[in-house]
């Protein structure tokens, strides 16, 4: 869990303090060189799906908030078709598999994440096209946060040189627009609604 993910979890914990019992679990997985990131993300997403399926059997009443950043966000994103349900909220930060224009995407940009064409492409009559994997019925339970200058989640044709200077990509917790706060508030609202908690004021 990187600094930006911790920023969201800390804010979410504060918002739920005294209202719900919360615990956090990091999900480590094997990574490697950047050119193998799509394979690692796909493999890790299957591991995450299996872990969550076992967890659901053991603790069926749990409500989950899945938070991922960058490649970790892609792992969460790819796992959603087999794991997303009404007791889950998802926060994707700088998602390398971001699909532009989805109902849960907060950035007005037509560029997808750098990994999306590699892990979410499907063949259509017009050729390959990126198609989102999140079940449409669950779109209101997810939010994808991407800064316009972040080439990992907003990979425009001129973005390649920016990949060598990742300062924007790892600065979401310091973003003046309050992305970490917005993400935590979004997740807290869903948890509160799921558990019937009044969050007045």
CATH code at 88?
A: 3.40.50.1820
Residue 56 domain flag? yes
Q: What is the pLDDT of residue 175?
A: 81
What is d(CA 110, CA 116) in angstroms, rounded to the nearest whole number? Answer: 13
Q: What is the mean pLDDT of residues 186-198?
A: 89
What mean pLDDT value characterizes the chain? 88
Q: How confident is the model at residue 153 (pLDDT cuts 50, 70, 90)?
A: very high
Residue 201 lies in a domain: no
Q: What is the pLDDT of residue 29?
A: 82
Tokens of 77: 């994103």
Residue 26 lies in a domain: no
* CA gap 67, 74 in Å, rounded: 10
Residue with the bigger pLDDT between 32 and 120: it is 120
Can you tell me the distance from the alpha carbon of 97 to that of 76, in angstroms, rounded to the nearest whole number?
10
pLDDT tops 60 at residue 199: no
Decide if 200 is inside a domain: no
Q: Which domain holds residue 125?
A: 3-20+31-195
142-145 and 88-93 beta bridge pairing: parallel
* Angle CA 64–95–42, to nearest 5: 80
DSSP H helical ranges for 20-135: 37-58, 71-83, 116-119
Q: Left, alpha or beta for 159 (phi > 0: left; psi -120 to 50: alpha)? A: alpha
Question: What's the total number of domains in the chain?
Answer: 1
Q: How confident is the model at residue 163 (pLDDT cuts 50, 70, 90)?
A: low
Q: CA-CA distance, 78 to 90, in Å (whole number)? A: 12
Position 187 scores a pLDDT of 96
Are residues 146 and 105 in contact, defined by beta-carbon separation less than 8 angstroms? yes
State the Cα torsion 67-43-55-63 to the nearest 10°: 20
Please report the DSSP string for 81-101 in residue order.
HHH--TTEEEEEES-TT--TT
Does any domain span residue 74? Answer: yes
H helix and E strand count, the chain:
5, 5
In a domain, 181, yes or no: yes
Give the pLDDT confidence of 65-93 residue by residue, as tens digits: 999 999 999 999 999 998 888 889 999 99
Assigned domain for 63 exists:
yes
Q: What is the pTM of this model?
A: 0.91
The answer for 155, left when phi > 0, alpha when psi is -120 to 50, beta otherwise, is beta
The model's confidence at residue 137, banded by pLDDT at 50, 70 and 90, is: confident
Does any domain span residue 25? no
Paired with 65 in beta bridges are: 89
Whole-number pLDDT of residue 201: 42
């Amino acid at each position: 869990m990187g600094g930006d993910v911790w920023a969201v979890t800390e804010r979410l914990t504060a918002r739920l303090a005294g209202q719900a019992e919360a615990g956090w679990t990091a999900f480590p997985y094997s990574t490697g060189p950047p050119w193998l990131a799509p394979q690692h993300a796909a493999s890790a997403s299957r591991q995450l799906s299996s872990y969550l399926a076992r967890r659901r059997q053991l603790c069926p009443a749990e409500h989950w908030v899945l938070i991922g950043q960058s490649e970790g966000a892609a792992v969460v994103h790819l796992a959603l078709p087999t794991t997303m349900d009404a007791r889950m909220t998802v926060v994707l930060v700088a998602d390398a598999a971001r699909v532009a224009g989805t109902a849960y995407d907060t950035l007005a940009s037509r560029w997808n994440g750098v990994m999306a064409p590699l892990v979410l492409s499907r063949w259509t009559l017009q050729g390959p096209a990126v198609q989102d994997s999140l079940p449409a019925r669950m779109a209101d339970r997810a939010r994808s946060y991407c800064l316009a200058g972040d080439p990992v989640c907003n990979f425009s044709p001129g973005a390649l040189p920016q990949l060598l200077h990742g300062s924007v990509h790892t600065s979401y917790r310091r973003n003046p627009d309050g992305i970490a706060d917005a993400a935590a508030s979004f997740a807290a609202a869903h948890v509160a609604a799921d558990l019937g908690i009044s969050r007045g004021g």
